Structure 1
Amino acid sequence: MLVSPNSSRLVDWISEPRHDRGVRFADDTDGWRFVSYAELAELCLRGAEQIAAAGARPGGRVCVVMNTSETGIAAFCATLLIGATVAPVAPPTHTVSGDYAGYLGRILATARPDVVVAEQRFHVGVKAALAAAELDAPVLAIDGSAPVPGHIPPVRAEYALLQFTSGSTRAPRGVLLTGANVEAQQRLITSWLDVSGELTAASWLPLHHDMGLVGLLLPALVHQFDLRLLQPVQFIARPLRWLECFGRDGVWSTATPNFGLDWILRKVAPDDLQGMDFTTWRHLIIGAERVEFDVLRRFAALLAPHGFDSRTLLPAYGLAEAALAVTGSGTDEIPSAIAVDPTTLQLGAAVRVLGTATLGEADDPAPVAESDATRTWLTSCGSPLHSAQVRILGQDGTPVGDSVLGEVAISGPSVTRAVLDEHRETAPFHDDWYHTGDAGFVCGTDLYLVGRMGDSMKVHGRTLFAEDIESAVTAAAGAPKNRVTVLLGTDRGAPTVALLCERLKLPPEQVLRVVRKLAGDQVVLRVLQVEQGTIARTTSGKPRRRHLWRQLTAGELADSITAELGDRAEGATAVLADRTTAEAGDRAESATVE
């Protein structure tokens, strides 16, 4: 026996690994490289011995640069084996905005690890980050050719996982999850999806992020089912390759943020799907950001001629503080949505429902489409899963009634009891309920999300949500969602709505009409054409709104702005004023997206 059966259940598979199942890694020639669970178990044992020898101690912390590779997976499991807390972080790729050493340095300064594990090619960046954090931790690359140790003593740490939230800007915030938290989440996922060793799955998600790590990798390891992994850049370059896993290879299960489906709709044509059969595809979980009903509708329509079942789509709600999932649609349910009056989306007020829809039908006379200035479509995120609990709180912290908008609070065995913020552990609970900062409401048993409370603004008693305005504007203008970001705040004493548009020109009249309908005449509207790469994003692809707002108001985006549409609350005529040379204007024109 290689590992004591008293060790964490998350790594029990290492004691009896399968030779016939494992992880397939996508190569650069449309092929797959197979690593069996038996081979992976040996690499985990090598890693455990080497990480311990480098100075990691039981109860200490190890940062693992989680590239999509067998060494990244092995380092993660090896850290759990020796009883240390593993903190997965992003590798230095295009998904990390700005300076990688600064990003990683802030995490390291908060985590203060005993050891950092990374592939050799990442060591220069990691050492620069350690220097920026004024730390002297050793940097280790696992040697896969070393002898395999025969036994690993059983050690179980108080905390198994330190998950840094993707929205961090200055001092990162880490979510501390016990082994019991993560194991409870695995039971939730197993119950929800009826997971067994017969399942097959594929993922393009980064392994440092909770959806890719806790939602797909850990279930595969615990149950030892076959898993296919693509690098995120491989999915971005050719999303059809991910679809082929299900339409040609018969894979059953996966998960993605909403923008992943939107990317497929932009890059995959109906003719690309010839010969594919999606009848065996069982689970497609959609979460990590607000799920757009029109994206689900168009995605299902694209794949329907090839046997895709709409019940495969499983909109869900989760967050790192719950180890991942909290609510989700049932595996036998067709996704549904409600149309609401956007003027009633006010904290503490009852939301007015204008209509309902499921994929393929609606009881509302208007066509089921994207949100506009008169209605906002909100997708159901399902009901609480397994042992998870949800309640909606008013501004005084007490529960509110059905269909009343408030703050989402959660409870359950997978929910964290501590977070790490600038070296300090804090308990974020209020009477055993974690206050998420997400705005939403429950209608019947289903949860509907509106947006982040931190990404909202009150104007004359009305609450405006950035995501709500963003959906309406992009729908009205026919703009790709990943090219437009809405920022809200007070600038020079006036409530302001700022739209940052990358390589895109929005019709001014449509923008003004939509925002005025949602926000009224009391806001200043700024529509800014910016250069590609200006919109800073988290490692999971979400816009860093608060960071961007600080940059905008401090004038730090001035060099990136190619043109601005200025609308003043006094009613002055909107004028498009070029902020750069004619040459820059020509570049913006040539970069316009059809």
Structure 2
Amino acid sequence: MQIDFSRSIIDIVLGHENTVPDRPALIFDLGEGPQDSLTYAQTAARVRQLASALSARGLAGRRIALLFSAGTDFALALLACLAVGSVAIPVAPVGRRRARLQNILSMLGDIRPDCIMLDDSMAGQFGQELSAALPGTMRYLEFSALGQGTHPFTPLTLKPDQLAVLQFTSGTTSNPKGVMITHGNIIANETMIQAAFGHSQDSHFVGWVPHYHDQGLFGNILQPLFLGSTCVITSPAAFINKPMSWLHLISRYRAHTSGGPNFGYDLCVDYATRRGIPELDLSSWRVAFNGAERVRPSTLDRFAECFADAGFDKRAFLPCYGLAESTLVTIAVPPQSEPVVRTYDSRALAAGRAEESAEGLDLACCGPAMAGAEARIVDPKTGEPLPDGSVGEIWLRGPHIAVGYIDNEAATEATFGGRLDEGGPFLRTGDLGFSTPEGFFIVSRLKDTIIVRGRNYAPSDVEHIWSELSGTVGQASAAAVEIEIGDVQHIVLIAEMKRDEARSLSDEMLQETAGKLRAIAMERLELSITDLVMVPASAIPRTTSGKVQRKQAGRMLMDGDLAIIGMTGPLAQAFQPSRQKASAAG
């Protein structure tokens, strides 16, 4: 694949004012109609004005943290930062208010930006306290006060190896790290996505995934701007509160591409099951990408069946795989192809072999590596390449792979320095999977893997059993973790309960549920679940993209930071949150 590194994303976006000046570039709509809309001509003019104002304030070439709510202002601020050669750092405004402020200050302390810029919404929530808490060397700037530059501005010539964005990892298995994304990384991955997803200038987007998440930033915002198509932005909160608003926007704007992780599709099905399906026309939706940790076949089936009468074509589903360290996507199925789902023996997977079986674990293929990228399956212990059908760590290589973690040489070498006989470096993803002639199948996170007597078990397999028992299929409502107390290993399932169910939970019901869980896990996986811990809904920690933080959940359990509704198993007797030798394994 030929990738043109002669132009930056800024050159391309501003160039659209000459080819499609009147086409809407950015639309913000919460489901009630456009709240804000900018054409490519208006976007280009606004970016130049903002870039001129940033340059006049001495912020060219600086690190600028962006604390913004969903909307067009974030996209404008991001583009203006890139236009002056600055490093844009999207900051996630998530969690409870007090915790959010501390998390923001902690992140700012780690990355030490020269300036933090806030939109009106974030300034109203955090402005006074944040400006007072910032160190004297860090500037505080409100977007609305930035004004417009008075001098004509010509974007800088940006080199491919020049740092563009610090994208923070999700923090699923460790503290979030700042991934260094260059201008060349952006051009490479946007070019690869365009080709792999079959996009054109008429491939309009609708997106609700948070803009500070790689999927929201590089997929829902920068890909349509790269193409010269239309980007319709809605807020995650609007979608969560009214799931059908997402589908209404796809119908209203005749979107070609939209998507998200498993829970987004599941939320729509659950809502439609309870309240019915409104009048929708989803026939324009040609690419429904799903890039969760592991694409669930049950999610694809339920959504396709639920919305078939609304014009949704199951062939629109496009399972894919990527992570922040690869800018966005590396592996993807061809567009408009029927999802490939295979059933594999769970016990064989635990032993490192992918063997098809009449009964077992259903896995969806995420396709081959996209053109311009390379993906390999490697033994994580020996560093030796593995053949098709062997479970190992996914290693990636290509021009879209980030250059490393900011101010963290040790982690950069450990993650980005993988070597094979034919060379490198490769990105070690920390994800387990296997390859077939059809493509790659994702199994689990390497660091989350439960190891019992030398056999590897994916925690998501245990969690899926719980979802079946509890009627929460498709929802991230449990965390399977391995906990050690002294020399004793406990395999624990931490499961959430709805408020009305928690009130009626008796010890007899708890024991019965735990018995069913243990029986099914032993039958399917040959895994002994030692403990079941029931906690309130939303008690399990999650990343900004909704992924369960299993290691953190285990630590919270042992530190006494989880509100426990019920608990059964040997851990209940040994449970002492203050015990020093108790720790989450790994």
TM-score bin, normalised by smaller chain: 0.7 to 0.9
Whichever residue aligns with residue 449 of structure 2, its letter is S
Aligned counterpart, 2:555: 550
Counterparts of 2:261 and 2:558 in 1: how far apart (Å)? 30
**What does the per-residue CA deviation read over 1:504-562, in whole Å, with 9 as the maximum and x for residues that have no partner?**
4673332121233356575522x2222233212111111122122111112222xx112
Whichever residue aligns with residue 153 of structure 2, its letter is H
Report the Cα offset of residue 25 of structure 1: 0.9
Q: Residue 106 of structure 1 contacts residue 170 of structure 1 at CA under 8 Å; is this kept in 2? A: no
Aligned counterpart, 1:84: 86
**What does the per-residue CA deviation read over 1:98-134, in whole Å, with 9 as the maximum and x for residues that have no partner?**
7112222232122211111111342363675677675
Aligned counterpart, 2:422: none
Secondary structure in 1 matching 2:22: coil
Counterparts of 1:48 and 1:99 in 2: how far apart (Å)? 32
Counterparts of 1:341 and 1:67 in 2: how far apart (Å)? 44
Match of 2:170 among 139, 150, 166: 166
Match of 1:261 among 265, 282, 307: 265
Structure 1 unpaired stretches of 5+: 356-373, 578-594
Aligned counterpart, 1:183: 187
Asked if residue 20 in structure 1 is aligned to residue 23 in structure 2, the reply is yes
Asked if residue 407 in structure 1 is aligned to residue 413 in structure 2, the reply is no
**What does the per-residue CA deviation read over 1:43-84, in whole Å, with 9 as the maximum and x for residues that have no partner?**
2223223333444242x3111124222221111011100111
Q: Residue 51 of structure 2 contacts residue 81 of structure 2 at CA under 8 Å; is this kept in 1? A: yes
Aligned counterpart, 1:112: 112
Report the Cα offset of residue 168 of structure 1: 6.5
**What does the per-residue CA deviation read over 1:554-593, in whole Å, with 9 as the maximum and x for residues that have no partner?**
2222xx11222x1239xxxx99x9xxxxxxxxxxxxxxxx
**What does the per-residue CA deviation read over 1:343-395, in whole Å, with 9 as the maximum and x for residues that have no partner?**
11236x3222115xxxxxxxxxxxxxxxxxx6111111111111111111112
Q: Residue 199 of structure 1 contacts residue 253 of structure 1 at CA under 8 Å; is this kept in 2? A: yes
Counterparts of 1:46 and 1:142 in 2: how far apart (Å)? 12
**What does the per-residue CA deviation read over 1:289-317, in whole Å, with 9 as the maximum and x for residues that have no partner?**
21110110010001112322111000111
Whichever residue aligns with residue 514 of structure 2, its letter is P
Return closer, same or farther for 1:550/1:126 CA change in 2, 3 Å cut-off.
farther
Asked if residue 229 in structure 1 is aligned to residue 212 in structure 2, the reply is no
Whichever residue aligns with residue 437 of structure 1, its letter is G
Match of 2:496 among 495, 502, 505: 502
**What does the per-residue CA deviation read over 1:311-358, in whole Å, with 9 as the maximum and x for residues that have no partner?**
1000111111111111111113100211111111236x3222115xxx
Q: Residue 204 of structure 1 contacts residue 229 of structure 1 at CA under 8 Å; is this kept in 2? A: yes
**What does the per-residue CA deviation read over 1:384-409, in whole Å, with 9 as the maximum and x for residues that have no partner?**
11111111111211101111011111
Match of 1:452 among 445, 449, 452: 445
Q: Residue 24 of structure 1 contacts residue 35 of structure 1 at CA under 8 Å; is this kept in 2? A: yes
Aligned counterpart, 1:586: none
Return closer, same or farther for 1:446/1:130 CA change in 2, 3 Å cut-off.
farther
Whichever residue aligns with residue 325 of structure 1, its letter is V
Secondary structure in 2 matching 1:479: coil
Return closer, same or farther for 1:28/1:274 CA change in 2, 3 Å cut-off.
closer
Match of 1:429 among 393, 401, 417: 417
Aligned counterpart, 2:153: 151
Count residues with an aligned counterpart. Answer: 543
Counterparts of 1:522 and 1:413 in 2: how far apart (Å)? 44
Aligned counterpart, 2:504: none
Secondary structure in 2 matching 1:455: coil
Return closer, same or farther for 1:41/1:434 CA change in 2, 3 Å cut-off.
same
**What does the per-residue CA deviation read over 1:391-430, in whole Å, with 9 as the maximum and x for residues that have no partner?**
1111211101111011111111101122125598834222
Whichever residue aligns with residue 62 of structure 1, its letter is I
Counterparts of 2:37 and 2:434 in 1: how far apart (Å)? 45
**What does the per-residue CA deviation read over 1:151-208, in whole Å, with 9 as the maximum and x for residues that have no partner?**
2351426111111001178753111111111100011111112322222110111111
Match of 1:471 among 461, 464, 472: 464
Asked if residue 210 in structure 1 is aligned to residue 211 in structure 2, the reply is no
Structure 2 unpaired stretches of 5+: 420-424, 502-509, 576-586
Asked if residue 51 in structure 1 is aligned to residue 54 in structure 2, the reply is yes
Whichever residue aligns with residue 101 of structure 1, its letter is L
Counterparts of 1:533 and 1:220 in 2: how far apart (Å)? 34
Return closer, same or farther for 1:97/1:260 CA change in 2, 3 Å cut-off.
farther
Secondary structure in 1 matching 2:561: coil
Return closer, same or farther for 1:519/1:278 CA change in 2, 3 Å cut-off.
closer
Secondary structure in 2 matching 1:315: strand
Whichever residue aligns with residue 450 of structure 1, its letter is V
Return closer, same or farther for 1:321/1:19 CA change in 2, 3 Å cut-off.
same
Return closer, same or farther for 1:129/1:381 CA change in 2, 3 Å cut-off.
farther
Q: Residue 392 of structure 1 contacts residue 442 of structure 1 at CA under 8 Å; is this kept in 2? A: yes
Q: Residue 51 of structure 2 contacts residue 80 of structure 2 at CA under 8 Å; is this kept in 1? A: yes
Return closer, same or farther for 1:315/1:153 CA change in 2, 3 Å cut-off.
closer
Aligned counterpart, 1:535: 540
Counterparts of 1:492 and 1:339 in 2: how far apart (Å)? 38
Counterparts of 1:72 and 1:436 in 2: how far apart (Å)? 29
Whichever residue aligns with residue 288 of structure 1, its letter is A
Larger % of helix: which? 2
Among the aligned pairs, what percent are the same residue? Answer: 25
- Which stretch shifts more, 227-236 or 422-431? 422-431
- TM-score (norm: length of structure 2): 0.86
Counterparts of 2:107 and 2:152 in 1: how far apart (Å)? 34
- Taking the TM superposition and a 5 Å limit, the aligned residue runs for 1:88-103 are 88-91=90-93, 93-94=94-95, 99-103=99-103
Counterparts of 1:250 and 1:100 in 2: how far apart (Å)? 36
Aligned counterpart, 1:359: none
Q: CA RMSD in A?
A: 2.9
Whichever residue aligns with residue 482 of structure 1, its letter is A
Whichever residue aligns with residue 70 of structure 1, its letter is T
Aligned counterpart, 1:381: 366
Match of 1:483 among 462, 477, 494: 477
- Which stretch shifts more, 335-344 or 267-276? 267-276
- Which stretch shifts more, 13-22 or 182-191? 13-22
Aligned counterpart, 1:461: 454
- TM-score (norm: length of structure 1): 0.84
**What does the per-residue CA deviation read over 1:8-66, in whole Å, with 9 as the maximum and x for residues that have no partner?**
234432255223322221147455532222222232223223333444242x3111124
Q: Residue 27 of structure 2 contacts residue 72 of structure 2 at CA under 8 Å; is this kept in 1? A: no
Whichever residue aligns with residue 87 of structure 1, its letter is I
Q: Residue 196 of structure 2 contacts residue 334 of structure 2 at CA under 8 Å; is this kept in 1? A: yes
Asked if residue 138 in structure 1 is aligned to residue 126 in structure 2, the reply is no
Counterparts of 1:188 and 1:429 in 2: how far apart (Å)? 23
Report the Cα offset of residue 89 of structure 1: 1.4
Whichever residue aligns with residue 490 of structure 2, its letter is T
